[in-house]
Structure 1
Amino acid sequence: MFLINLLNSDQFYNLTARAQAIYVQAIANADDEGFCDKIHSIRKRMHGRISDVDLLVEKGYLYRFSRDLYLIIHWRCHNHIRRDRGSETFHKAERNRVCICPDDTYHVLPPEMDTEAVRQYAAEHQMIPMTAFFFDRGGHTAVESKVMQSYVM
Structure 2
Amino acid sequence: MAQRRMVSPKITDTDVFLDMPLSSQALYFHLNMHADDDGFIDNINTIKRMVGASTDDEKLLIAKQFIIPFEDKGIVVIKDWRIHNYIRKDRYTPTIHNDIASRLTVDSNGSYQMKTDDKVDVTGSGQPDVNQMSTNGIPLVDAGKVRLGKDRLGKTNTMSSSNEHDESLVSATKQIIEKINQLSGRKFRVTDSAKRLVKPRLVDYTLDELLEMLEYKWNDWSDWDGRYNAFQPETLFRAKNTDKYIASMQAEPVKKESDSNDWLSNITEAADNA
Letter of the structure 2 residue corresponding to residue 92 of structure 1 = N
Alpha carbon RMSD of aligned pairs, Å?
Answer: 2.3
1:34 to 3, 27, 39: 39
1:117 partner SS:
coil
Larger radius of gyration between Structure 1 and Structure 2: 2
Matched, 1:86 2:99: no
Matched, 1:12 2:17: yes
8 A Cα contact 1:74 1:105, kept in partner: yes
Question: Structure 2 length normalisation: TM-score?
Answer: 0.42
Structure 1 unmatched ranges of 5 or more: 128-153
8 A Cα contact 1:25 1:42, kept in partner: yes
Residues 22-73 of structure 1: per-residue CA shift (max 9 Å, x gap): 1000000000001011211111122111111011001010000126200100
Cα displacement (A) at 1:83:
1.6
Match of 1:105 in 2: 111
Question: 1 or 2 for the larger relative contact order (CA 8 Å, sep ≥6)?
Answer: 1
Measured in 2, the distance between the counterparts of 1:81 and 1:72 equals 15
2:52 to 32, 42, 47: 47
In the comparison of the two structures, how many residue pairs are matched? 124
Matched, 1:74 2:80: yes
Structure 2 unmatched ranges of 5 or more: 1-5, 124-128, 141-274
Letter of the structure 1 residue corresponding to residue 106 of structure 2 = I
Match of 1:63 in 2: 68
Letter of the structure 2 residue corresponding to residue 40 of structure 1 = N
Greater than 4 Å deviation, 4+ residue runs: none
Identity of aligned residues (%): 26
